[in-house]
Amino acid sequence: MIKTNPAPHSLIDSNGQPIIGHFDGIPKHLNIENFDYRNSMDAKANLWQKHFHYKQFQFVSIVSDTHIIGVAIADIRYLGSAFCYLYDIENNHLEESSWLRPLGFDKQVTASPFDGTTNIAGQSITFNIEGGQWQVRLNTKLIKADIALEPEADSLPMAMCSPTGYSGWTYTQKHNALRISGDIQIKGTSLNLTQARAGYDFSAGYMRRETSWRWASINTQSNGTDIGLNLAAGVNETGGCENVLWANGTR
């Protein structure tokens, strides 16, 4: 069993260092402005390095009986990118839309995993987080959606921070097998969300410039049980891991 701690209010402590470990809950702020970022010679990184070396992405996966939807927004400071893919299970057909935006143009990104809004491309994709609860709005040529991701009562996400490289860190927060309320329309036809389940990923930090990352994420209902699974290799493995199973909301 992995030892967990109460979620800190801010991920960066009063000494400018990240709080490492697994958390029961969600930090209210990452507080990156107070991070004491150092280069490999242990000198303070300059403001340019501190700004541009920070990366963040958010991802939502939706799995229904007929379709799988994946939506993401990534901010690597000098470039914003996003995609929305739609997989038709019965017809084995994949369609995708994608966007690229330089610097901060046509893009808004929250620095908090607990509250804030992230959107891109004229709000073609919007993730709105309120009190740790996710809402997703899509307005693309493939999909129109306005939904809320709803965990079981007292269900906890997997939230952790691990050391990365010489002085960096990676915070990741994932929650799978969430129920969905609202409406999703695929080319004008509403998707049946009764059996649909969703998961999200909020990851941020001063990550490695290059990595070999393998990831599996499952959201489903099987024999009346909501099952969520996250498996990862190649990241967040410095003293911990992000492999986690949810069954009917229990992490």
List of residues 6+ apart from 37 with CB closer than 8 A? 44, 45, 49, 50, 53, 167, 168, 206
Average pLDDT over residues 13-28: 97
CA distance 124 to 146: 12
DSSP β-bridge partners for residue 244: 230
Quick one: pLDDT band at residue 3, thresholds 50, 70, 90?
Answer: confident
**Structure pTM?**
0.95
Asked whether residue 1 carries a pLDDT value surpassing 70, the answer given is no
pLDDT tens, residue by residue, 179-226: 999 999 998 999 999 999 999 999 999 998 887 889 999 999 999 999
Average pLDDT over residues 101-109: 93
Full set of structural domains in the chain with CATH: 40-247 (2.40.370)
Neighbouring CB atoms inside 10 A of 245's CB total: 15
CA distance 48 to 36: 14
pLDDT at residue number 15 = 97
CA distance 132 to 137: 16
Query: SS3 for 238?
Result: coil
Please give the full DSSP string across 124-138, using - where no structure is assigned: TEEEEEETTEEEEEE
Average pLDDT over residues 159-164: 95
Q: Report which DSSP code applies to 34.
A: G
* Percent of the chain clearing pLDDT 70 (strictly above): 100
**Longest CA pairwise span in the chain (Å):** 57
Question: Which tokens in the block code for residue 249?
Answer: 């909301």
CA distance 93 to 1: 40
Quick one: pLDDT band at residue 240, thresholds 50, 70, 90?
Answer: confident
